[in-house]
Amino acid sequence: MKVESIFPRRQTRQIMVGQVPVGGGAPISVQSMTTTKTADVEGTLAQIYALAGAGADIVRCTCNEMEAAEGLAQIVPRSPVPIVADIHHQYKMALAALEAGVACLRLNPGNIRRPEHIKQVAKAALERSVPIRIGVNGGSLHPDLYKKYGDKVTPEAMVESALMELAYFEEVDFDLVKISVKASSVPLMIESYRQLSEQTDFPLHLGVTEAGPPPAGIVKSTAGIASLLIEGIGDTIRYSLTADPVEEVRAGRQLLEALGLRERKNVDLIACPSCGRAEIDVFEVANRAMEAFGDREIPLQVAVMGCVVNGPGEARDADLGIAAGNKRGHLFVKGQNAAVVPEDEMVETLVEWAEFIHEHGADKALERVDTERAKREAERDRSALLVSQGSDVNAAEVKIASMRSS
Ligand code: SF4
């Protein structure tokens, strides 16, 4: 399903990370990084498969020692997604990772400082048509640049670091480059990417580094990455969370789907925030539904609503939803009442209908049931609730009247 985004994207060059295009109008890819020792081949592959299953397009593994490079030689041919080798201090590890067959390298200019080493890596990568990410990181900026900009990490310093590295690559005619200028400060990261995007058309890899554990880490990453994507900046993203990397992938994909930048892959579960009218514990049912759907590839929007009084109307655009009323669950499909089930079967009903709709379509699903009857039942429970709770169950009108009279 092709998605048309309302945010025009900045034109960038395109590189290939294995089979995954990055930049040049390609879908924005989601990346993550393994947390295992790369030398632990089976453990690392298990994590790579989990990440790919959650929607990662590209996975990075550290390559910090020869055992890790040897691990990569075994991991790369068995990986379902392209593997990027993360290189920090030792340029020789970059050469070994290339030998191992990785699809991309990530170099940190603050940590590999000798131009001749950088050029040597670029030459070896060029021979194999393997791209390199110039991964500038606010926390490991080159000391000279740090000094030059008044003992501070500034957007200008970050951009200068990236452009300096780029110049070394250009000297050896290497242009298979993508760039990141990550920082843990969201404003610094946003401004660095903005300035960089003015000065280069290489694809950009976005991220807020060391964002921390969720939920704060997700909030920070989303603030930085989404702000830039809305401006059309960014070709590939990574959430850096102190959490299971599967969480990074889920967050990244959900952001792209929410912005209309990637097609929906899994269920988009929406739920009302609950209020005095709720007939069920909405939080509990919504969480149970989330768990039941898990990472199943059902690209539908599914609603869990606390009451049949307002729920079906408020979620009429969802593909499928259920609203509680009088100990029953009222199922609706594209705003049309479809079925009535006992309250304790709400979640399993949602899953079963979502699977059917995904496979056969909403019309076929509705053909199976008596929609007129479901509508009458819903109307009956709705009227009963309105009678028992009144039309102002949250007592807003009473409060407003009291405020006005005081
Ligand atoms: S009115 Fe009903 S659907 Fe709306 S928030 Fe309250 S319980 Fe949920």
Domains, the chain, in order of start with CATH, read 15-258 (3.20.20.20), 268-389 (3.30.413.10)
CB distance 271 to ligand 1 below 6 Å: no
Is the shortest distance between the CB of 306 and ligand 1 below 6 Å? yes
User: Token match 């079906």: residue?
Assistant: 312
Amino acid at site 47: Q
Rounded CA gap, 100 and 177, in Å?
Answer: 20
Nearest residue (by CA) to ligand 1, atom 6, is 275
Q: How many CB atoms lie within 10 A of CB 402?
A: 10
* Ligand 1 pocket residue status of 307, Cβ below 6 Å: yes
Ligand 1 centroid distance, CA of 282 (Å)? 9
Q: In this predicted structure, what is the pLDDT of residue 389?
A: 79
Q: Does ligand 1 have an atom closer than 6 angstroms to the CB of 314? A: yes
The pLDDT value recorded for residue 4 is: 62
pTM, two decimals, is 0.87
Ligand 1 center–CA 295 separation, angstroms? 27
Order of all β-strands in the sheet with 104-107: 177-182, 132-137, 104-107, 83-87, 58-62, 29-33, 236-238, 205-206
23 lines ligand 1 (CB under 6 A): no
Tokens standing for residue 292: 């039941």
Q: Is the dihedral of CA 100, 101, 106, 109 positive or negative?
A: positive
Distance 395 CA to ligand 1 centre (A): 14
Structure tokens at 371: 């929609």
Cα(134)–Cα(161) distance, rounded to whole angstroms? 9
How far, in Å, is the centroid of ligand 1 from the Cα of 100? 56
- Nearest residue (by CA) to ligand 1, atom 5, is 274
Tell me the pLDDT of the chain (406 aa) as tens digits: 555 678 899 999 999 999 999 999 999 999 999 999 999 999 999 999 999 999 999 999 999 999 999 999 999 999 999 999 999 889 999 999 999 999 999 998 778 778 899 999 999 999 999 999 999 999 888 889 999 999 999 999 999 999 999 999 999 999 999 999 999 999 999 999 999 999 999 999 999 999 999 999 999 999 999 999 999 999 999 999 999 999 999 999 999 999 999 998 889 999 999 998 898 999 999 999 999 998 889 999 999 999 999 999 999 999 999 999 989 999 999 999 999 999 999 999 999 999 999 999 999 999 999 999 999 999 999 999 888 877 777 677 778 788 888 7
377 Cα–ligand 1 center, Å: 19
- Cβ atoms 213, 242 nearer than 8 A: yes
pLDDT computed for residue 405 by the predictor: 83
